[in-house]
Amino acid sequence: MPPETIDNTCLEAYVAAYQKWLTTTPAGAAHALALLQLQAFRGADDKTYYLVDERGCVEDQPRPEDVWMLQGLVVSGRFIPPVGLRVSEKDRSECSSCGILTSCLKNVRDPHDDRLKSLCNYCISHSESPRIRDEGNLSICESCTVTSCGHHPARALRRVYASR
């Protein structure tokens, strides 16, 4: 059926009814979540929730049963149901130079004694040897999500702000 032959009034009524069903019934909500491949989680009874404005001022305090969190997953541009992802912690080992436990170690050959060393990206990037330094990249530290790392740039900023 060509679109121009559809009665707009009928189409508007159908869309309005569908939207009402989606937003006001449990079956509609479940259907919308399935279409978007999302999972919904109700607010926890042992938590207090606050709605805040852009300045951080509290505007409202909703009840936990009125709070719903949606969880979705996008991997390489594809929507995937959250249950389709398994996560495990990376092994952490000690850096031969600074001693920090990290998962970003690289094995590099020390040009001074020709020994193989396991160095973190930070120590590689700050090495005295240009040959070793070329294997590192400070942008790796800047984009790293392990903010608990002693070499993470955000940690250095926290130290600066704490000293003020």
Beta bridge partners of 102: 93
Q: Determine the pLDDT at residue 59.
A: 92
Q: Which CB contacts under 8 angstroms, 24+ apart, belong to 77-80?
A: 79/36, 79/37, 80/37
Q: Determine the pLDDT at residue 119.
A: 92
Q: Is the dihedral of CA 149, 153, 155, 156 positive or negative?
A: positive
Spatial distance between the Cα atoms of 151 and 130, rounded to a whole number of angstroms = 20
CB 109 within 8 A of CB 140: no
The DSSP output letter for 114 is: -
Q: Determine the pLDDT at residue 63.
A: 92
Residues 6+ apart with CB under 8 A from 5: none
Q: pTM for this one?
A: 0.47
Give the residues of the chain that fall short of pLDDT 70: 1, 3, 155-164
